[in-house]
Structure 1
Amino acid sequence: MQNIPHSESELLRRIAAGDEYAYQIIFESYWDAVYSAALLLTKSPGLAEDVAQDVFTMVWEKRTTLPAVEKLDGFLFITARNIIYSRFRKLASGDAYRRYVLERFPEEAAEGADRQAEFRELEQTVLRAIQQLPPQQQKAFKLSRFGGMRHEEIALTMGVSRITIKSYIVQAIASLRKALSNHPSGALAILWGLLFLH
């Protein structure tokens, strides 16, 4: 934190008030540490990247609570750890549920394959939400999720730094979650795929 031009507590107060510049400072200062901690716990670079994005998305979404945080590095590590544990629990319970349905209710599993029209409609809802993002966030998000480009490639394409691209994508995820928070769970399932399976 030696090179940060403001105190940590001041930055947290400013982020709580919606200051995106202060958020960018925290993001750039702590991204590598959060990613490294997630990598240590998950042993997966892809999952660690996703977890780090989740952590900073949550920081922005819950920014009004930040002034109460006494040690930001500890707060970020605990947040990353909780997200990892939550993901593992969901993956485990999801697999168990799918096996249960396939074994005991094969007709329900078959019916699920016939619901493509519903999912196409939900997908359109997600795409409309993406169209509402600020131009730079939208471009970075699309190049990442739809173009399959790595952050380094997007940074070169857009003429900004790799960490700025990460910030754009994290803020895009936060905006999309908020926009779709009241939508039926089907849309959130599609959003999960769009946001995290890369």
Structure 2
Amino acid sequence: MRNIPHSEKELLRLLADGNEHAFQVIFERHWDAVFSTALLLAKSASVAEDVAQDVFTMLWEKRVSLAGVEKLENFLFIAARNMIYSRFRKLASQDAYRQYVLSCFREDGAERVDETAELRELDRTIQQAIRLLPPQQQRAFRLSRYEGMQHEEIAVTMGVSRVTIKSYIVQAIASLRKALANHPSGAHWIVWAFFWVLSR
């Protein structure tokens, strides 16, 4: 890893410039605290893992605006808390919507939706976006989402730490969300379904 300053303010400045090494340092410093906060509020390790991942995805996506953050620890705590509360508020409607989405993929629901062409187009967009990821991010993402490997297994396979794997996957998700941001509005429910799976 390149020489990265210890000053949080300087790290945030580098992060705002898109420095991935600065992001990884921040990720490694704050992951445990963000996860613990989410776990305390959600009382669920799996939900806490999802929320922590979302917090750092947001951090990367909004990095340009973070140079002025005075206390990163407080910022991350508030972000985690707000995401937990938001998830609780939306849980019922999301679960209902998920059941609808899944029903659209069932054979008995095939006649109710005509999304085959859009699904193929979405898959092409996703695969193209994945191919544009940096090699390590791409490999970690594919092993996680396509091979079903856990972070610990990927870390062993790739010879890096578990935290580094989490960092790779967070950045990969942020890049894919950006790539899909302009996907045709007619396929919004497909994109939503994809990210419901992607966030886990």
Q: TM-score, normalised by structure 2?
A: 0.83
**For the residues of structure 1 that align with 2:95 and 2:168, how far apart are their CA atoms?**
32
**How many residue pairs are counted as aligned between the two chains?**
186
Closer, same or farther: CA 82–53 of 1 in aligned 2, 3 Å: same
Superposition RMSD in Å: 2.3
**For the residues of structure 2 that align with 1:158 and 1:141, how far apart are their CA atoms?**
12
Structure-2 residue corresponding to 1:166: 166
**For the residues of structure 2 that align with 1:110 and 1:89, how far apart are their CA atoms?**
31
Q: Which moved more, 1:158-167 or 1:126-135?
A: 126-135
Mapped contact 1:55–1:76 kept (Cα < 8 A): yes
- What are the Cα deviations for residues 92-127 of structure 1, in whole angstroms up to 9, with x where unaligned? 223456899xxxxxxxx7754554443343233222
- What are the Cα deviations for residues 125-157 of structure 1, in whole angstroms up to 9, with x where unaligned? 222222221111011011111111111100000
Q: TM-score, normalised by structure 1?
A: 0.84
Give the SS at the match of 2:182.
coil
**For the residues of structure 1 that align with 2:190 and 2:123, how far apart are their CA atoms?**
7
Structure-2 residue corresponding to 1:105: none
Structure-2 residue corresponding to 1:61: 61
Letter in 1 for 2:162: R
| Unaligned segments of structure 1, at least 5 residues | 101-108
- What are the Cα deviations for residues 4-59 of structure 1, in whole angstroms up to 9, with x where unaligned? 95211111111111221111111100001101111111122111111111111111
Letter in 1 for 2:194: L
Identity of aligned residues (%): 68
| Unaligned segments of structure 2, at least 5 residues | 101-108
